[in-house]
Chain A
């Protein structure tokens, strides 16, 4: 049968979501501290 590819090309990549959250939090922290 056809092999299911690990093609997780979603906008909802969990690693990306975490990175995005961390980055936006850091940006916020920098805005408030400056």
Chain B
């Protein structure tokens, strides 16, 4: 194999799977899925292809499948991670 594996395709697949799960379970709040999608669009391409994101995605996906009652906890977790790696970061205060 190569020296640096690119996880982009795998991450896309995992993300789609997670979105699919969310679509089925966040029907009362249809704004959640587009928000998650938007978060991903804003994330750094290097992060989208990283092993770190792959780990987060596989974790939230498997947990959401076994504990659907905590789905929003995992959505929040993923959003927080994506936000931390977004291209445009809001600076809270400038002196």
Contacts and interface: CB of A to CB of B under 8 A. Distances in A.
Interface residues of B, number: 13
B69 A16 contact: yes
Interface of A is mostly: helix
Q: Is the interface on chain A under 10, 10 to 19, 20 to 34, or 35 or more residues?
A: 10 to 19
B73 interface: yes
Interface in A5-34: 8-11, 13, 15-17, 19-20, 22-24, 26-27, 30-31
Most chain B beta carbons < 10 A, residue from A11, A20, A30: A20
Contact of B76 (A13, A19, A30, A31): A19
A34 to B, nearest CB: 9
